[in-house]
Structure 1
Amino acid sequence: MLYLVLSSLFLAATIAVTSPSPTTTTIAHDDPRIFYHGRWDKSSGTWWGGSGIKLCAEDLTSLALTLGPHTSAPSVSLGVSFDYASFVTMNASEGVNEILLPEGGANVVRINAEGWQNNRMNLLALEVDSGAKLSRYTPSHLAFQFIGDSLSAGQFLPQGVDQAWPFLVGESFRAEHNINAQPGATLTDMVSYGNVHGIAFQFFQTEDTGYYYTMDHNFTTPWHFSRDIPPTHVVIHIGANDASQNVTQPAFISTYLHFFDHLRELYPHQPIFVFTPWGWPNADGTISYYYDGAYQEIVDTRHETGDKNVFLVNTTGWMTWEDVFPDNQHPTVPGHAKIAGLFKNWLEKWGLHAAREWATLA
């Protein structure tokens, strides 16, 4: 069994708030050479963990982010990767934030908001050295859309979503990946653990559920899916919070099937993978499951309507007590790596294989 291996030692990159150098060039946030992924509002601010930018350049030796007042205060945690190396964490705040590039510079820089909350990066401009030659980033031909809750959002992980199994799966396939996952949220549109809406509503909005507590943006706006790179594969893992909120199994199945109808309006031909729960592991070796048989019924019902491009991913046994935090039963960093490895194996047996190289080479 192939498991993804994560280093237990995570590097911390340094950001300094400074003034632009006179030898730099300002790149406005709406410059077409900046590649945006995830959800961004009209202020050029991020929502949902993992949303960010990609920049491709030759002779790039200096880089800074100019962030606006809608940036999370006192700072936002950003994940940064140079030339497809592992992501490192940086804390950025309103103002000009210098990013220390590797010696020799970098050709491809990827930056995202890694947190499941306080994840607003209000990008106003980039500052690059005057000799840098920017070009457009070419996205991978593979693109994942992940939908879920805390079990997919990287809650409790040091690097947030950048250490969560959906992110790791996307990286292992050299694919683009959008992750819309909200801790505490049900699929059912209801109040749950601080969320005022469920994913059945929130997935179709620009904002994650943090909008409700954001004084300068306590409203939602519909997301225009034409702004996304169309996903080639859709993955859903949800239901834990519905069960915790005592949503009945028939009601959950009905909500899931209606959600499917809306997804098929957006993604009419893409394969959709439905995860069963891996459950809540206990110290005595037992595992608490929920909605037994519901996910098989959902997939079977879709098949009966003629939608054969829906697949059940049986995750029973994927997680044990050793793979979760004992105080909240969520997967640890190695636990998420284990899930990612198991799902990667599952997908390869299904017939999906990683791209040989990134479409934009470093």
Structure 2
Amino acid sequence: MRVAYLGLTLLWSLASATILQNGQVKEDPYPGQAPVISLDNSWRNYAPDVPEIAYKGRWDSKHISWWSAPGIKLQFSGNKLAISFGPSTSDGVLVAYRLGSLDWQFSNVTADATYQFIGPWTELADDIVDVPKIFEMRVQIAGVSTASTAELTIPPRYAKKVEVIGGSIASGQYGSYETLSSWAYLFVAGLGNVEHTLTSYAGVCLVDKQCYDGSAHGMTWYWHRASDPGGRSRAFYPEEPEIFDNSAEQPADLVIIQLGGNDHRHPNEIPPRDFYHAYVNLIEDIHSTWPHAVILIMSQWGVWEKQGFSYVPNMVYEEEGRQVHQHFKDRGFVYYFDTTGILQHNDINPKNHPTDVGHIKLASHLLQWTRMVMRWKLEPMGEVQHGTLYWNDQQEY
């Protein structure tokens, strides 16, 4: 399952899936299905390239979103809002959207159609109808429409930015709401007022070689590409994906890297020294692009093994990760975040990915690291499991 922010952020390719809560199937796991509409004279229409639409994450020149949880952010007046989706939108893709910082809602959408996400059913007090409101969504969009008497305005941009680079764990694979359940998203949401890009994709290797049956390249190559290593993007760009100019983006203040699981697994089994050199090269590349960014190496576990009367994690490329940190130590911009002890074996699902609770633990520890080491204030204070109604709210369970 993959999620997509309306036209922009999360790409969930499956229209439905089972979500368990307290061991029971969760009723109405994806609230918020938006109706299909036809635009008439009561709407004011905006093309996808207007400056009032803020694109978040990695998008290509055709306004198609890639990687993990890309999206759009809008500021609009009035009491209705609609999004039109382009011809490259996956049929039935599930997108996530929300108003302000309310809970995320979910809707299936399809190509060449317009869906209304804000309307009479949305609870808007009379005194805020004409007040600018923030709307977020995560997919390709063909345009945005407001009431004919209303308008889009440019949403505020935050001064700080975080980039997360990773594989399936950072992408939230097997989480209830995929990327919205990932430690990466929970962390940036917990920081509050920061911009963020999650450059992560399930199955990607750090080292620039073919991993599994996918792309012939790894993250050291794909960090400069707009689209991800997936089969959908390779079919869309069979020869060469578009270049993504990182230097043209808002510079990141903090870059967190968690890679190695795919390099380590069969049949890839990247030699440790190759992994080390690729890590050094990626960090040098990032530093040359964003010379003022702090870069955090995040360790990664392998399988959990039962030893006697306890479970012990088998860490992946642990020695090489520490050697990379040591290589840059005197230069002062690279830190090492040891995940040992944060997770227990029951925080890991059968495929070695964190459960929702495991992701929350990782995000919480990272938030405190950022508060203490980076001296960033948490605004709001360490918010995690952001914006989804997940926990059991009944006493009879």
Normalization by structure 1: what TM-score? 0.87
Letter in 2 for 1:194: D
* 2:214 maps to 1:195: yes
Structure 2 CA distance for aligned equivalents of residues 266 and 257 of structure 1: 14
* 2:371 maps to 1:348: yes
1:226 Cα deviation after fit: 4.1
Report the counterpart of residue 304 of structure 2 in structure 1: 281
Q: Contact 1:299–1:312 (CA<8 Å) still a contact in 2? A: yes
Report the counterpart of residue 56 of structure 1 in structure 2: 75
Identity among equivalent pairs (%): 22
1:282 Cα deviation after fit: 4.2
Partner of residue 152 from structure 1, selected from 164, 170, 178: 170
Cα distance per residue 1:227-284 (max 9 Å; x no partner): 4222111111111111112212111111111111111111111111111124433466
Cα distance per residue 1:272-306 (max 9 Å; x no partner): 111112443346622121223211110110124xx
Structure 1 CA distance for aligned equivalents of residues 363 and 287 of structure 2: 25
Letter in 2 for 1:78: V
Report the counterpart of residue 167 of structure 1 in structure 2: 185
Report the counterpart of residue 292 of structure 1 in structure 2: 318
1:11 Cα deviation after fit: 4.9
Q: Contact 1:325–1:332 (CA<8 Å) still a contact in 2? A: yes
Normalization by structure 2: what TM-score? 0.80
Moved more, 277-286 or 287-296: 277-286
* 2:288 maps to 1:261: no
Q: Contact 2:77–2:151 (CA<8 Å) still a contact in 1? A: yes
Instruction: Count matched residues.
Output: 338
Q: 1:282 to 1:130 in 2, by over 3 A?
A: farther
Report the counterpart of residue 217 of structure 1 in structure 2: 237
1:212 Cα deviation after fit: 6.0
Structure 2 CA distance for aligned equivalents of residues 292 and 356 of structure 1: 33
**For structure 1, which runs of at least 5 residues remain unmatched after alignment?**
1-6, 113-120, 358-362
Q: Contact 1:273–1:310 (CA<8 Å) still a contact in 2? A: yes
Report the counterpart of residue 251 of structure 2 in structure 1: 230
Structure 1 CA distance for aligned equivalents of residues 281 and 61 of structure 2: 29
Q: Contact 2:146–2:152 (CA<8 Å) still a contact in 1? A: no
1:89 Cα deviation after fit: 2.1
Q: What does residue range 4-15 of structure 1 map to in structure 2 within 5 Å? A: 10-15=29-34
* 2:156 maps to 1:138: yes
Q: What does residue range 312-327 of structure 1 map to in structure 2 within 5 Å? A: 312-326=336-350
Structure 1 CA distance for aligned equivalents of residues 221 and 357 of structure 2: 32
Report the counterpart of residue 330 of structure 1 in structure 2: 353
1:195 Cα deviation after fit: 2.6
Q: 1:214 to 1:90 in 2, by over 3 A?
A: farther
Q: Contact 1:279–1:316 (CA<8 Å) still a contact in 2? A: no
**For structure 2, which runs of at least 5 residues remain unmatched after alignment?**
1-19, 382-397
Secondary structure at the counterpart of residue 90 of structure 1? strand
1:182 Cα deviation after fit: 1.2
Secondary structure at the counterpart of residue 44 of structure 1? coil
Structure 1 CA distance for aligned equivalents of residues 358 and 252 of structure 2: 26
Structure 1 CA distance for aligned equivalents of residues 188 and 200 of structure 2: 15
Report the counterpart of residue 302 of structure 1 in structure 2: 328
Q: Contact 1:14–1:100 (CA<8 Å) still a contact in 2? A: no
Q: Contact 1:79–1:159 (CA<8 Å) still a contact in 2? A: no
Cα distance per residue 1:28-86 (max 9 Å; x no partner): 11111111111111211111121111001223x111111111111x2222121211223
Secondary structure at the counterpart of residue 311 of structure 2? coil
Q: Contact 1:211–1:220 (CA<8 Å) still a contact in 2? A: no
Moved more, 48-57 or 12-21: 12-21
Structure 2 CA distance for aligned equivalents of residues 216 and 152 of structure 1: 24
Secondary structure at the counterpart of residue 340 of structure 2? coil
Structure 1 CA distance for aligned equivalents of residues 371 and 269 of structure 2: 36
Q: Contact 1:146–1:235 (CA<8 Å) still a contact in 2? A: yes
Secondary structure at the counterpart of residue 67 of structure 2? strand
Report the counterpart of residue 89 of structure 2 in structure 1: 71
Secondary structure at the counterpart of residue 146 of structure 2? strand
Q: 1:226 to 1:268 in 2, by over 3 A?
A: closer
* 2:48 maps to 1:45: no
Q: Contact 1:147–1:237 (CA<8 Å) still a contact in 2? A: yes
1:321 Cα deviation after fit: 1.7
Report the counterpart of residue 385 of structure 2 in structure 1: none
1:158 Cα deviation after fit: 3.1
